[in-house]
């Protein structure tokens, strides 16, 4: 596959206006330079990758550096931008909204900025929710609050209707803040726009508290997530030592990727077991989790377990607990399953245990962004604005190898980032917890 083609960002057309930003094109003048289209960052930064690329003679895979371009596509004074936030809450959404508005208004002079209410629903036909006008005064304090002032929702709406709404409201740029599904929706909107030959840019700011966006160093809100989780886990440890054979189970977010659970354990080293979706996991028998837990209790008489919500989903397959009295499939909550199984296991052996099950998910996702996420959200939003004003479309702003870049939406949604079970990060988790290297 041609790597150049792969990571290049679609564009609405050649730039037409000089940027209003008073920047430089010279190094050494203590003034930020416009970013050139040719500035690229390598995807593979290992020496072996370098050697392979050198030998193959081809251009290595690389990413477009983000930032302000010297000429831009949209005429700022005549441009209307819209912002939509979709999916579950995540710390930092309001920071992103705030910084998009500030950057559009102050850097480029875009005066009409529209807040779409309650996710893509707010773009659908016959939507009952009016737009919210966004101004610097309206958004100046919102970074202090979690959630999203625009509201959010899940679920798809007809792409055609949504593009109609953009057209009817003379929207030139649509900023979508959302996860995998939202970004796929944004891509579809971009395709429809292209089909109709419209000059509307669609920019994505990837939002996933699970940190599972492919290729990208980290997504905003993720660090806040384990920052908020850490004292909760510290205190879950207090619960565990507060009873003889006390066990605390803390369920954290992570449907497909266990980054929050694993990071919390590394940040708050009182955790004895981390269970993530990426790991093989069996409960019973030799080498299983329950055996390992029993060993731990015999040595220390208390244990803290952190489990990602998506861990051990195969355990539900043949489990009678997952149906209620009426035969309906109940919500598959791995935390509750663990609690039941542990209770059962130690009940059979006559060992009394005291189990506390803690699910702080809503508490975490609705918290305001911490300082580093706030900083990160701001810079990310700035990049998205620069890209959209330059006429790029169907792209996301992201950070790779600590550098801000633009990536095609298609590249970040074609798979999820997962913890590498053979990587340094997971090995650090194993070392910190002291749990068996394998329990499945």
Q: Is 246 annotated as a binding residue?
A: no
DSSP state of 107: I
Nearer of residues 13 and 22 to its own copies, judged by Cβ: 22
User: If DSSP codes are grouped into helix, strand and coil, which group holds residue 204?
Assistant: strand
**Binding to its own copies, residues 325-354 (CB under 8 A):** 325
- The answer to whether the Cα torsion of 113, 114, 115, 116 is positive or negative is negative
DSSP state of 104: I
**Binding to its own copies, residues 28-87 (CB under 8 A):** 28-33, 38-42, 45-48, 50, 53-54, 59-60, 62, 67
Stretch that binds its own copies, among 74-82, 181-189, 396-404, 411-419 (CB under 8 A): 396-404
Q: Name which position in 16, 372, 414, 415 contacts its own copies (CB under 8 A).
A: 372
Least spacing, CB of residue 191 vs its own copies, in Å: 28
Q: Is 181 annotated as a binding residue?
A: yes
Q: Is 182 annotated as a binding residue?
A: yes
Q: Is 253 annotated as a binding residue?
A: yes
Q: Is 206 in the site for its own copies (CB under 8 A)?
A: no
Q: Is 229 in the site for its own copies (CB under 8 A)?
A: yes
Active site residue 210: yes
Nearer of residues 178 and 190 to its own copies, judged by Cβ: 178
Least spacing, CB of residue 404 vs its own copies, in Å: 6
User: If DSSP codes are grouped into helix, strand and coil, which group holds residue 8?
Assistant: coil
Closest CA to 385 of 100, 165, 114: 100
Q: Name which position in 69, 105, 143, 392 contacts its own copies (CB under 8 A).
A: 143
Stretch that binds its own copies, among 188-196, 306-314, 340-348, 374-382 (CB under 8 A): 374-382
Catalytic residue among 30, 44, 210, 333: 210
Q: Name which position in 231, 295, 344, 414 contacts its own copies (CB under 8 A).
A: 231
Q: Name which position in 111, 138, 184, 234 contacts its own copies (CB under 8 A).
A: 234
- The answer to whether the Cα torsion of 6, 11, 14, 16 is positive or negative is negative
Q: Name which position in 105, 117, 345, 417 contacts its own copies (CB under 8 A).
A: 117
Least spacing, CB of residue 75 vs its own copies, in Å: 21
Q: What does the alpha-carbon distance between residue 362 and residue 88 come to, in Å, rounded to a whole number?
A: 10
Name all contacts of 191-199 with Cβ < 8 Å and 24+ positions apart: 191/159, 191/394, 192/159, 192/160, 192/163, 193/163, 193/166, 193/393, 194/10, 196/163, 198/163, 198/166, 198/167, 199/12, 199/13, 199/73, 199/172
Q: How many CB atoms lie within 10 A of CB 356?
A: 17
Contacts for 25 with CB less than 8 Å, ≥ 6 apart: 33, 34, 70
Give burial (CB, 10 Å; 0-12/13-18/19+) of 60.
middle
**Binding to its own copies, residues 150-169 (CB under 8 A):** 151-153
Q: Is 364 annotated as a binding residue?
A: yes
- DSSP code per residue over 65-92: EPS--SEESS-GGG-EEEEEE-SS--TT
CB 176 within 8 A of CB 380: no
Q: Is 210 annotated as a binding residue?
A: yes
**Binding to its own copies, residues 250-289 (CB under 8 A):** 263-264, 266-269, 279-280
Q: Is 438 in the site for its own copies (CB under 8 A)?
A: yes
Nearer of residues 106 and 199 to its own copies, judged by Cβ: 106
Which residues are designated catalytic?
210
Binding residues: 88, 154-155, 179-182, 208-210, 253-255, 309, 362-365
């Amino acid at each position: 596959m041609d790597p150049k083609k792969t990571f290049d960002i679609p564009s609405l057309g050649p730039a037409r206006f000089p940027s209003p930003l008073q920047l430089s094109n010279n190094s050494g003048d203590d003034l930020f330079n416009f970013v050139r289209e040719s500035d690229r960052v390598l995807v593979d930064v290992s020496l072996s990758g370098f050697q392979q690329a050198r030998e193959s003679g081809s251009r290595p895979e690389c990413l477009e550096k983000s930032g302000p371009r010297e000429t831009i596509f949209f005429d700022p004074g005549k441009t209307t931008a819209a912002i939509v936030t979709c999916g579950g809450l995540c710390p930092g959404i309001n920071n992103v909204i705030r910084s998009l508005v500030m950057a559009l208004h102050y850097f480029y002079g875009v005066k009409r900025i529209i807040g779409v209410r309650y996710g893509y629903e707010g773009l659908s036909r016959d939507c009952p929710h009016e737009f919210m006008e966004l101004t610097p005064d309206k958004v100046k304090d919102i970074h202090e609050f979690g959630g999203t002032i625009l509201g959010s929702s899940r679920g798809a709406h007809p792409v055609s209707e949504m593009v109609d709404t953009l057209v009817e409201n003379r929207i030139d740029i649509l900023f979508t803040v959302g996860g995998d599904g939202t970004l796929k929706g944004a891509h579809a909107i971009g395709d429809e726009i292209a089909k109709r030959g419209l000059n509307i840019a669609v920019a994505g700011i990837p939002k996933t508290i699970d940190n599972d966006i492919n290729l990208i160093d980290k997504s905003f809100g993720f660090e806040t997530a384990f920052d908020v989780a850490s004292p909760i886990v510290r205190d879950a440890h207090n619960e565990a030592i507060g009873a003889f054979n006390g066990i605390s189970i803390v369920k954290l977010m992570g449907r497909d990727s266990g980054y929050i659970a694993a990071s919390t354990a590394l940040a708050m080293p009182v955790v004895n077991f981390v269970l993530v979706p990426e790991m093989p996991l069996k409960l019973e028998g030799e080498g299983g989790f329950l055996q390992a837990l029993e060993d731990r209790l015999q040595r220390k008489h208390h244990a803290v377990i952190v489990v990602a919500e998506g861990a051990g989903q195969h355990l539900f397959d043949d489990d009678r607990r997952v149906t209620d009295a009426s035969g309906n499939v109940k919500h598959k909550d791995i935390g509750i399953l663990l609690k039941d199984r542990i209770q059962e296991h130690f009940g059979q052996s006559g060992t009394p245990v005291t189990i506390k099950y803690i699910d702080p998910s809503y508490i975490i996702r609705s918290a305001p962004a911490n300082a580093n996420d706030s900083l990160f959200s701001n810079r990310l939003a700035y990049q998205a604005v620069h890209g959209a004003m330059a006429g790029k479309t169907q792209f996301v702003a992201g950070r790779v190898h600590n550098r801000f870049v633009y990536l095609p939406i298609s590249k970040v949604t074609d798979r999820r980032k997962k913890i590498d079970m053979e990587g340094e990060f997971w090995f650090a988790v194993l070392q910190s917890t002291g749990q068996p290297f394998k329990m499945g």
